[in-house]
Amino acid sequence: MRGIDVCCSGNPYRVTIGAGALTALADELNRLGFDDTVIVVTDATVAELFGEGLERHLAESRFSPHLIVIPPGEDQKCLEMAGVLYGRLNELGAERSTPLVAFGGGVVGDLTGFVAATYFRGLPLVQVPTTLLAQVDSSIGGKVAVNHGTLKNNVGAFHQPVAVITDTSLLTHLPEREFRNGLAEVIKSAMIRDETFFRYLESQMECVTARDTEVLERIVARTVEIKASVVAEDEKDTGLRNILNFGHTVGHGIESATSFSLCHGEAVSIGMIAATQIAIAMNMVSMEVFDRLKSLLQRAGLPVAIPDFVDLGAVLDAMSRDKKMAKGRLRFILPVRTGVVEIRGDVSMDLLRRTLESCYAAA
Ligand SMILES: NC(=O)c1ccc[n+]([C@@H]2O[C@H](COP(=O)([O-])OP(=O)(O)OC[C@H]3O[C@@H](n4cnc5c(N)ncnc54)[C@H](O)[C@@H]3O)[C@@H](O)[C@H]2O)c1
Ligand SMILES: [Zn+2]
């Protein structure tokens, strides 16, 4: 088991990572001074797989757990469901000191976090992420949100958890595509911050995809460390934190142009390829870096070309509406070498269009 301390203003918190870490939840709640009522929000899939085990663990450690089970899926991350949860908290007699445990993927984490940030102006939040994406990304950093109208994550807050319990053994049950979804963020983290980690992934990708216990624990822990260090330097997302968006400028455009039929990690994978091609055209990075990144993404089972059914005009349109537009210019995170990226605002529309044309599978 590993512990990573995340520094943030006021309330530093600990991320406990390892196979079997779930059994540390009660101790962590005790250490934080909570007693009795614990409200756990989860989705039906996670409840079915692990709900009973979690309830038993908490009950055996003198807590009274109450499980609130919502349907799975991104659609649940909305104000209506937040309203349902406020109602349940009221019925359960939640007080300002009652901890809310988000037990699930990023959807449960973001929604529960949003409810925790707003109910009684802030309940303590414990993140217990169960997807690879939630373990390495959404449970860290304190961003919580729901979707409203046609926009994603547009109603939200910064609400840091008091603790994160990351049990890598829960990933054994994760469907292949969900696993790859998180792997894209792992590879991204290595590309933006850590050449040694990138080499490690190159040497271990087959063990990663086989979900080897040791390797999984190590890659989750390193990716959490990387995100935590970036977030600690830029908690409110005003500068450095942008580097976490490597691959996301184009990625979001593709996700949105395909009405989310490509999952986030798949779109980000293609986005990292596009960003690296742009960097090559701007003489910022070598072809060797591009080849290594492409090969690693392919070995992870991620796409490296835009599928032919994706409409380029729609991608460019979606990108121009993106929140990563700074003063009318798109902001790109471009690689300089493995482990180092730069934030750039000087990518021309013409270069972007030409690069995306060359990123099509049939090109
Ligand atoms: N707050 C942030 O900083 C941040 C960062 C990245 C993404 N996000 C958000 O995260 C969300 C996506 O999260 P996600 O990819 O985890 O999706 P998700 O929460 O929808 O989970 C994916 C699916 O996996 C199932 N599942 C969860 N754990 C499982 C397990 N251990 N075994 C088997 N099945 C399991 C879920 O029931 C669901 O059907 C998006 O809404 C995105 O906006 C937030
Ligand atoms: Zn992402």
Q: What is the pLDDT of residues 292-343, one digit of tens each?
A: 999 999 999 999 999 999 999 999 999 988 765 656 678 899 999 999 999 9
Report the C-alpha gap between 194 and 198 in whole angstroms.
6
Give residue 178 CA to ligand 2 midpoint distance, Å: 13
What's the 132 CA to ligand 1 centre distance in angstroms? Answer: 8
> What pLDDT, on the 0 to 100 scale, is given for residue 106?
98
> Which residue, judged by its Cα, is nearest atom 30 of ligand 1?
174
Mean local confidence (pLDDT), 189-215: 98
Q: What gap in Å lies between CA 53 and CA 69, rounded to an integer?
A: 15
Secondary structure (3-state) at 100: strand
CB 98 within 8 A of CB 71: no
Output the CA 252–ligand 2 centroid distance in Å: 9
Tens of pLDDT, residues 186-195: 999 999 999 9
pLDDT at 326: 58
| Share of residues in the chain with pLDDT > 90 (%) | 89
Whole-number Å distance, alpha carbon 186 to ligand 1 midpoint, is 15
The domain made up of 176-358 has a fold known as Dehydroquinate synthase-like, alpha domain (1.20.1090)
143 lines ligand 1 (CB under 6 A): yes
Atom index in ligand 1 nearest the CA of residue 173 equals 32
pLDDT confidence of residue 325: 61
Q: What CA–CA distance (Å, rounded) separates 20 from 38?
A: 20
Residues 188-204, mean pLDDT to the nearest whole number: 98
With a CB cutoff of 8 Å and minimum separation 6, the contacts of 360 are 305, 306, 308, 310, 312
Ligand 1 binding pocket includes 131 (Cβ within 6 Å): yes
CA atoms within 13 A on the CB side of 324: 22
Nearest alpha carbon, ligand 1 atom 33 = 174
Mean pLDDT computed over 88-106: 97
- State residue 327's pLDDT score: 63
Q: Where in the chain is the domain with CATH 3.40.50.1970?
A: 2-173
CATH fold label, 2-173? Rossmann fold (3.40.50)
Residues 113-119: what's their mean pLDDT? Answer: 98
Where would I find the beta strands (DSSP E) of the chain? Answer: 2-6, 13-18, 37-43, 64-70, 100-104, 125-129, 143-148, 151-158, 163-167, 325-326, 329-330, 332-337, 340-344
Query: Is the pTM here over 0.95, yes or no?
Result: yes
Residue 327 CA to residue 324 CA, distance in Å, equals 10
CB of 153 shorter than 6 A to ligand 1: yes
At a CB cut-off of 8 Å and minimum separation 6, what does 274 contact? Answer: 247, 250, 355, 356, 359
| Token code pair at residue 128 | 């217990």
Residue 260 has pLDDT above 90, yes or no: no
Residues of the chain with CATH 1.20.1090.10: 176-358
